Structure 1
Amino acid sequence: MLRPCLRYSPRAVRSPRCPQYSYRNSLQSPPVNQKSFLPLPSPPSIRGLQTPSTDSQDRIPLRKQLKQDAKSVKARRRERREQEEASRQKWELTVGVEIHAQLNTETKLFSRASTSPSELPNTNVALFDLAFPGSQPEFQAATLLPALRAAIALNCEIQPVSRFDRKHYFYQDQPAGYQITQYYEPFARNGYIDLYGYDGIAPEDGDQVRIGIKQIQLEQDTAKSQELPPSTQLLDFNRVSHPLIEIITMPQIHTPATAAAFVRKVQSILQSCNAVTTGMELGGLRADINVSIRQRGDDSGSHQYGGIGGLGQRTEIKNLSSFKAVEDAIIAEKNRQISVLESGGVIEGETRGWTIGSTETRKLRGKEGEVDYRYMPDPDIPPLLIGQELVAELSRTLPTAPDALLNMLLSPEYGLPIEDAKPLVELEDGARLEYYQYVVDILRELQQDLDPKARASLGRVAGNWVLHELGALLTKMDLPWDAERVTAQSLAAIIDNLQRKQITGATAKQVLGMLFDGDRRPVAQLLEDENLILRPLSREEYMALAEAAIEQNPQMAEQIRRKNQLGKLGWFVGQMMRTGEKGRVEAQKAEAILRELILGS
């Protein structure tokens, strides 16, 4: 019986009798020590040692292997798409959303402690926030105003009388052992949001979908906790009792993309009416998602899946902090539930968690119900009475809704494409939109002498300069929006000179860059001082520049002529602009001369 080769030597390696090297290639299983049933150790890499021979038929060229791998990836993607389509045909997804948003207030909900952010923990707290024995809640009436603005903007019915309840649970971030909320009688009910294609809803949901809002309730936030492994929790009570609204939808969402679009639009609406100060990106808005699955056409209650009331058993995914997380978590939970049901299992009512970058939700705990929380009316807080005069005044002074702003920008008055209109509405809480409208108003004053047809494109041209040209400079320098860096008056003057053909596009961008970098001269003076006013070239000057450019590269000119490769004309235009006097060569005229010389047209 042969012994295993435990020492490495050239002789041992070359020996065909060594069991360690009796297998043909790395795809086969390594030999096993018959006594220990463990794989024998692999030899170290030693220069000069011979490697065992392999048959040529076992070798796969790298390029062929890469192609096979790419085909496998495509096949798996195609299979996933087919499975997704099949599951969509068989199973119906239903999603309900609960959004918690911090209100824009100066004081907390039941104390006079400040809500201003503080780097020092546990500095903005009152005795009631810490559940100090004997302290009493004192409702701060001013906190109601942003909550009402939000409810009105979300098309809710404001209730004249609402009440606060105690929701009991023990956790270290809730010092009183209960949270004050409005479970039974919230201050707002029966709202809705309309979502459109431009909001990013799923194609299968059509051009428009309306999502009902069951209720909006006031409640207090909890403390902020920080975990220090292995067993330490730090608590910052600055956030305790910060006013929140909880927005609860009806279970009327059936696609992950539409759920994410709903949360995104709610944030946009809350910001537009000044109800909140921050969004998801800074932790001022968080979403919980309820997900259930049932077979399509099954309205019997889906009891075999653990559900009631015509829907499957729902699970809740807590504390989602981005729009992408909302969509990804729903997809993962939907796939998990379908897998459980198709394997004969039953969905359990659970609270589940989600980690960004994950592909699966994880169980946190069993789902609590109304009985577990032991809801009861709060005996220390009187009913909240809301007068109709206050509601009417807030409705009258509410800022224009985002959808109305979009329709205005898409109308002939401005003529913007949706790709430009949406960013203008969403960026900087409307500050850039206000700047853009100011630029358009100034341009209309400056160009009253021009033909109405020429003035019809003012809105689109101004949108391009505000969003793309000025926006690109801000992005390049990683700077926040600042309307004073290039004033609306200066940008309008640049655009006016460009449209009157007193400067070229390249000169307009140069002047914009100079103003952006701090030049404070008026545009007219800057153009005069720097000799940037366009002095049009004559036809003879264009012809000379074009002939010189063609002489530099006659082969390319021949390719354009023989193969009609018109895209290469741009190279010659660039050469003419580089060799000609700066700011005087107009690209359109240069291309027209080149076409005439090269193509005879």
Structure 2
Amino acid sequence: MLDLSTKAPEPKVIAGAKGDWELVIGMEIHAQVSSNAKLFSGASTGFGAEPNSHVAFVDAAMPGMLPVINEYCIAQAVRSGLGLKAAINLRSAFDRKNYFYPDLPQGYQISQLYHPIVGEGEVIVEMEPGIERRVRIERIHLEQDAGKSIHDMDPTMSFVDLNRTGVALMEIVSRPDIRGPEEAAAYVVKLRQILRYLGTCDGNMQNGNLRCDVNVSVCKPGQYEKYQETQDFSHLGTRCELKNMNSMRFIQAAIDYEARRQIAILEDGGSVDQETRLYDPDKNETRSMRSKEEAHDYRYFPCPDLLPLEIEQGWVDEIAANMPELPDAKKRRFIEELGLSDYDASVLTAELEHADYFEAVVAACGDGKQAANWVINDLFGRLKKDGTEFDACPVSPAQLGAIIALIRKGDISGKIAKDLFEIVFTEGGEPAEIVEARGMKQVTDTGAIEKVVDEIIAKSPSEVEKARANPKLIGWFVGQVMKASGGKANPAAVNKIVAEKLGL
């Protein structure tokens, strides 16, 4: 269990013209379930296909077509709930949410309002070491995604692509526990990280596989504490929903703008309308989309085509028994077992692919700290410089591990290792073979090193006097020896021999 006794960050305070205000934020995350087939049909969920090529009869609402639940999507929702320390409801049910859009061919969305599959859970968001926000999860329910309306192909027409229609979504609803724009973005990052570790959502925001609706309201200091005592939402002010946010930067900018807009209205004596708004990143402003609907506006009722969903505790226990190691546990293990700093462990566990790569490097070289330094500083830095994505990294964990192993064995120096890494990055090859073939092996023969040291001392009498007067200047001799040896001399041996020769 995580230590929840750490300090919570202070709420974001915004200074208005007539006093201070605090932010209150709740979020609804729509996460596309990682599944090859849709929630109620066998149609493919593949991204980027020709429009309307991944559509089954039931997705297109053909008469007489009935939905059939995809068991794998149910398992993925249960797995997500377990990863968020949430209650799993053994009995849940689907409802029809009625509204009319061109890209919703049924005229309703099959969702879960009254009996969701997952109940209350939590996400721990670390803002900085020792500063954590606990965000409560109210529920996770499964629902169908809608299609996509396309308006930019022809200015006189709109088109509809039903490929996304019926794709399984998990709507993850938080309590209003988030108190600032940075926390909101950090919460999305952490939730995305957990889902990716679980393998239940790929978290690709660019493709729309993870989208956020952000509910923003403002209140005077002290009102949030009254809400916590009474659970009366009226203390929190009227909320506005910012729809379909898919960028961490835009989430923060939109929240900040919307909060200041609401404050200006309230301080001017007006009232905030409960509505759904869109964020325009070009103008950095939110604008009204429609009035915010309540549940009764959608005329929810139990879906007559689907019986209540009943699952067995034994099935849930089986899923729980096969859960992967989650980010917080992996980070703690890296710190406790491999001796990593909090920062290094955070960087390496941010993405599952990075953590897996790092662990493979450790397995190849046997040194967690050196592996962390090389992965974070050399590998990540080189990839960034080259503009290369991590999944196209030309250096395998085995190759990087072999380079570090050669350093640990004393076969190559740190400087030679940098050159070797560059060769492997650009040309490939087995590190040990490259060292042998190119004569890069470190010189550890003390006799050979002594000969070079003697030559340099003999040619530099004035430098010898300076070094004897100020031992810190010994580095000049070490540098000359390393230069003369082409960087191959063992640095530790060079230091020792130079000090002995100079009588230091």
Whole-angstrom distance in 2 between the partners of 1:440 and 1:166: 51
Whole-angstrom distance in 1 between the partners of 2:67 and 2:391: 42
Structure 2 residue 344 is the aligned partner of structure 1 residue 420: yes
Q: 1:496 aligns with which of 381, 405, 409?
A: 405
Structure 2 residue 458 is the aligned partner of structure 1 residue 538: no
What per-residue deviation string (whole Å, max 9, x for no partner) do you get for residues 383-428 of structure 1? 11111011101111010111000101111x211123322232233x
Say if 1:576 and 1:585, in contact at 8 Å, map to a contact too: no
Q: Larger deviation: 190-199 or 157-166?
A: 190-199
What per-residue deviation string (whole Å, max 9, x for no partner) do you get for residues 181-230 of structure 1? 1011111111111122348xxxxxx7122111111000000112221264
Question: Given the superposition, is the C-alpha separation of residues 160 and 543 from structure 1 closer, same or farther in structure 2, using an over 3 Å criterion?
Answer: same
Secondary structure in 2 aligned to 1:438?
A: helix
User: Which residue in the other structure is 2:360 paired with?
Assistant: 438
Cα deviation, residue 539, structure 1: 5.0
With a CA cutoff of 8 Å and minimum separation of 6, indicate the structure with the bigger relative contact order.
Answer: 2
Whole-angstrom distance in 2 between the partners of 1:573 and 1:165: 80
Question: Given the superposition, is the C-alpha separation of residues 330 and 507 from structure 1 closer, same or farther in structure 2, using an over 3 Å criterion?
Answer: same
User: Which residue in the other structure is 1:142 paired with?
Assistant: 72
Say if 2:456 and 2:477, in contact at 8 Å, map to a contact too: no
Whole-angstrom distance in 2 between the partners of 1:198 and 1:484: 29
Q: 1:151 aligns with which of 67, 73, 81?
A: 81
User: Which structure has the larger Rg over C-alpha atoms?
Assistant: 1
Whole-angstrom distance in 1 between the partners of 2:436 and 2:60: 67
Structure 2 residue 484 is the aligned partner of structure 1 residue 580: yes
Whole-angstrom distance in 2 between the partners of 1:415 and 1:499: 17
Secondary structure in 2 aligned to 1:239?
A: coil
User: Which residue in the other structure is 1:183 paired with?
Assistant: 113
User: Which residue in the other structure is 2:3 paired with?
Assistant: none
Whole-angstrom distance in 1 between the partners of 2:326 and 2:19: 36
Q: Which runs of 4+ in 1 moved over 4 A?
A: 85-89, 299-302, 482-485, 542-551, 572-575, 585-598
Structure 2 residue 283 is the aligned partner of structure 1 residue 353: no
Larger strand fraction of residues: 2
Cα deviation, residue 296, structure 1: 1.7
Aligned ranges for residues 6-21 of structure 1 at < 5 Å?
A: none
User: Which residue in the other structure is 2:40 paired with?
Assistant: 110
Say if 2:37 and 2:43, in contact at 8 Å, map to a contact too: yes
User: Which residue in the other structure is 1:529 paired with?
Assistant: 437
Secondary structure in 1 aligned to 2:284?
A: coil
Say if 2:39 and 2:73, in contact at 8 Å, map to a contact too: yes
Secondary structure in 2 aligned to 1:130?
A: coil
Structure 2 residue 142 is the aligned partner of structure 1 residue 218: yes
Say if 2:411 and 2:441, in contact at 8 Å, map to a contact too: yes
Cα deviation, residue 380, structure 1: 1.2
Say if 1:576 and 1:590, in contact at 8 Å, map to a contact too: no
Say if 2:118 and 2:141, in contact at 8 Å, map to a contact too: yes
Secondary structure in 2 aligned to 1:106?
A: coil
User: Which residue in the other structure is 2:214 paired with?
Assistant: 289
Aligned ranges for residues 42-441 of structure 1 at < 5 Å?
A: 84=14, 90-198=20-128, 207-228=131-152, 230-298=155-223, 308-411=233-336, 413-427=337-351, 430-441=352-363
What per-residue deviation string (whole Å, max 9, x for no partner) do you get for residues 32-61 of structure 1? xxxxxxxxxxxxxxxxxxxxxxxxxxxxxx
Whole-angstrom distance in 2 between the partners of 1:486 and 1:365: 51
Question: Given the superposition, is the C-alpha separation of residues 593 and 363 from structure 1 closer, same or farther in structure 2, using an over 3 Å criterion?
Answer: farther
Secondary structure in 2 aligned to 1:361?
A: strand
Question: Given the superposition, is the C-alpha separation of residues 548 and 214 from structure 1 closer, same or farther in structure 2, using an over 3 Å criterion?
Answer: farther
Task: Please give the root-mean-square deviation of Cα atoms over the aligned residues, in Å.
Answer: 3.6
Q: 1:511 aligns with which of 408, 414, 420?
A: 420
Cα deviation, residue 547, structure 1: 8.9
Question: What's the TM-score, normalizing by structure 1?
Answer: 0.72
Whole-angstrom distance in 1 between the partners of 2:293 and 2:458: 81
Whole-angstrom distance in 2 between the partners of 1:250 and 1:476: 41
Say if 2:365 and 2:405, in contact at 8 Å, map to a contact too: yes
Whole-angstrom distance in 2 between the partners of 1:301 and 1:83: 17
Letter in 1 for 2:191: V
Letter in 2 for 1:432: H
Question: Given the superposition, is the C-alpha separation of residues 498 and 104 from structure 1 closer, same or farther in structure 2, using an over 3 Å criterion?
Answer: same
What per-residue deviation string (whole Å, max 9, x for no partner) do you get for residues 518-563 of structure 1? 4434x43432222212225635634755897999xx9xxx9x999x
Question: Given the superposition, is the C-alpha separation of residues 547 and 96 from structure 1 closer, same or farther in structure 2, using an over 3 Å criterion?
Answer: farther
Whole-angstrom distance in 1 between the partners of 2:118 and 2:338: 36
Say if 2:120 and 2:137, in contact at 8 Å, map to a contact too: yes
What per-residue deviation string (whole Å, max 9, x for no partner) do you get for residues 137-195 of structure 1? 22222221111111110111111111111111111121122111101111111111112
Secondary structure in 2 aligned to 1:336?
A: helix
Whole-angstrom distance in 2 between the partners of 1:592 and 1:548: 20
Say if 1:104 and 1:274, in contact at 8 Å, map to a contact too: yes
Say if 2:449 and 2:494, in contact at 8 Å, map to a contact too: no
Whole-angstrom distance in 2 between the partners of 1:300 and 1:420: 36
Cα deviation, residue 589, structure 1: 7.6
Cα deviation, residue 597, structure 1: 12
Secondary structure in 1 aligned to 2:100?
A: coil
Letter in 1 for 2:357: Y
Question: Given the superposition, is the C-alpha separation of residues 269 and 87 from structure 1 closer, same or farther in structure 2, using an over 3 Å criterion?
Answer: farther
Q: Give structure 2 stretches of 5+ with no counterpart.
A: 1-11
Identity of aligned residues (%): 34
Letter in 1 for 2:437: D
Cα deviation, residue 308, structure 1: 5.0
Say if 2:411 and 2:442, in contact at 8 Å, map to a contact too: yes
Number of aligned pairs? Answer: 483
Question: Given the superposition, is the C-alpha separation of residues 141 and 408 from structure 1 closer, same or farther in structure 2, using an over 3 Å criterion?
Answer: same
Question: Given the superposition, is the C-alpha separation of residues 579 and 166 from structure 1 closer, same or farther in structure 2, using an over 3 Å criterion?
Answer: same
Question: Given the superposition, is the C-alpha separation of residues 594 and 324 from structure 1 closer, same or farther in structure 2, using an over 3 Å criterion?
Answer: farther
Secondary structure in 2 aligned to 1:328?
A: helix
Whole-angstrom distance in 2 between the partners of 1:549 and 1:385: 86
Question: Given the superposition, is the C-alpha separation of residues 546 and 163 from structure 1 closer, same or farther in structure 2, using an over 3 Å criterion?
Answer: farther
Question: Given the superposition, is the C-alpha separation of residues 528 and 182 from structure 1 closer, same or farther in structure 2, using an over 3 Å criterion?
Answer: same
Whole-angstrom distance in 1 between the partners of 2:289 and 2:375: 47
Whole-angstrom distance in 1 between the partners of 2:60 and 2:184: 36
Q: Larger deviation: 137-146 or 232-241?
A: 137-146
Q: Give structure 1 stretches of 5+ with no counterpart.
A: 1-81, 200-205, 445-457
Question: What's the TM-score, normalizing by structure 2?
Answer: 0.85
